[in-house]
């Protein structure tokens, strides 16, 4: 009998030790955007804060990602922590465009780490409006992010407004380069590309570098187009202030979405609580991860995503009075 009791105790002790070590520290992937882009920088900065303060609980390994795919990979648990936008989270939960199936297990830790906004720039002096592309049948050589990225998805919606398509661009002897931000900069510098569309944090390092290397025309999205896209895709009005980039002498009216940190719904509530607490208690360090996040404070962390919060995050915000 004593031997059985001893064996049982040893087994329980072993299992407790195993479970304890598993719960004590987890290594998780965290997806930002393309290397060199704002999201990759933001997520890397947030991961550094979390890894430092919660070093006994979690180790985040940052990998590249993209706005549309990040929601799906977060829900599936491939990259449990990711950056994306609230409209895509809602679309994914319902299996709506741009998703062909439901991804219900993506929730939110915090939002409003600055905004990602539409940028449309060109080195051409014969294109000052979006309509110029279609009306003049210009042979543009455009750099875009890869399919599955927010940029490319929104670009297809913009083309629809102006009765454009990839086929029409090619028919006009244009070229389309699906590349990352770094490659887009190099293609522009070398003159192999003359036009660029992106949906990226403001200010964008890639746009800044392009503007330094080549004179750029900053093409504004017309109000009618902004109104249509705002209504159909829950995009928000946004103004890129004059002087944000070299050669940008006037305010640029465009559209944006809030940079939002997401987490897989099945992640332990206590761990998510601690991650949320860490970010909120180190708000000044969060502000330093990227210029777009320089005004982030806990008071704005839930704005617009109240119904999408992970229970662990919601618990912290309610305890501190950030969420009523």
Mean pLDDT by 10 residues, the chain (324 residues): 44 39 76 90 97 96 94 97 94 93 97 94 95 92 90 92 93 95 94 95 94 96 92 89 96 95 97 98 97 95 94 98 92
Distance CA 172, CA 193 (A): 15
Establish if 125 belongs to a structural domain: yes
Asked whether the beta carbons of 32 and 74 are under 8 A apart, the reply is: no
Residue 146 has a pLDDT of 87
Residue 24 has a pLDDT of 65
Establish if 165 belongs to a structural domain: yes
Bridge-based pairing of strands 106-110 and 115-122 is: unpaired
277 and 159, same structural domain?
Answer: no
User: How much is the pTM?
Assistant: 0.81
* H-helix segments, 65-204: 67-76, 86-94, 130-135, 150-161, 166-171, 181-190
Query: CA-based diameter of the chain, in Å?
Result: 91
Q: Which two tokens stand for residue 1?
A: 């009998």
38 and 96, same structural domain?
Answer: yes
308 and 211, same structural domain?
Answer: no
- Crossing angle of helices 181-190 and 205-213, rounded to 10°: 10
Helix (H) or strand (E) holding 83: strand 81-84
125 and 223, same structural domain?
Answer: yes
122 and 253, same structural domain?
Answer: yes
Non-local CB neighbours of 293 within 8 Å, separated by 6+ positions = 42, 113, 114, 259, 286, 287
Residue 254 has a pLDDT of 96
Establish if 135 belongs to a structural domain: yes
Asked whether the beta carbons of 257 and 303 are under 8 A apart, the reply is: no
248 and 146, same structural domain?
Answer: yes
Domain count for the chain: 2
Residue 23 has a pLDDT of 52
Residue 10 has a pLDDT of 41
Which residues form the domain of 313? 26-114+259-320
C-alpha distances in angstroms, 144 versus 68, 151, 285? 14, 7, 32
Establish if 10 belongs to a structural domain: no
237 and 163, same structural domain?
Answer: yes
The CATH number of residue 177's host domain is 3.40.190.10
Establish if 20 belongs to a structural domain: no
Q: How far apart are the first and last CA of the chain?
A: 56
Residue 21 has a pLDDT of 37
Q: Which two tokens stand for residue 197?
A: 């569309």
């Amino acid at each position: 009998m004593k031997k059985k009791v001893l064996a049982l105790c040893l087994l329980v002790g072993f299992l407790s030790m195993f479970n304890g070590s598993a719960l004590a520290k987890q290594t998780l992937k965290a997806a930002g955007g393309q290397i060199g882009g704002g999201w990759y920088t933001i997520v890397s900065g947030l991961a550094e804060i979390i890894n430092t303060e919660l070093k006994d609980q979690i180790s985040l390994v940052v990998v590249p990602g993209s706005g549309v795919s990040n929601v799906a990979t977060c829900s599936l648990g491939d990259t449990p922590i990711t950056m994306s936008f609230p409209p895509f989270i809602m679309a994914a939960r319902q299996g709506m465009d741009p998703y062909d199936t439901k991804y219900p297990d993506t929730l939110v830790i915090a939002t409003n780490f600055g905004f990602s906004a539409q940028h449309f720039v060109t080195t051409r002096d014969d294109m000052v409006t979006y309509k110029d592309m279609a009306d003049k049948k210009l042979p543009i050589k455009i750099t875009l992010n890869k399919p599955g990225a927010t940029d490319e998805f929104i670009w297809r919606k913009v083309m629809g407004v102006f009765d454009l398509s990839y086929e029409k661009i090619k028919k006009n002897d244009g070229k389309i380069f699906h590349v990352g931000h770094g490659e887009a900069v190099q293609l522009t510098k070398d003159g192999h590309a003359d036009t660029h569309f992106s949906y990226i944090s403001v200010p964008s390092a890639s746009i800044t570098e392009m503007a330094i290397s080549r004179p750029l025309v900053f093409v504004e999205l017309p109000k009618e187009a902004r109104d249509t896209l705002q209504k159909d895709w829950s995009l928000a009005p946004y103004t890129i202030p004059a002087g944000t980039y070299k050669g940008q002498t006037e305010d640029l009216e465009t559209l944006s979405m809030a940079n939002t940190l997401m987490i897989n719904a099945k992640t332990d509530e206590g761990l998510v609580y601690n991650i949320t607490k860490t970010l909120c208690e180190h708000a000044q360090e969060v502000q330093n991860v990227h210029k777009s996040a320089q005004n982030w404070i806990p008071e704005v962390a839930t704005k617009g995503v109240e119904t999408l919060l992970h229970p662990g995050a919601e618990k912290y915000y309610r305890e501190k009075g950030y969420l009523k």
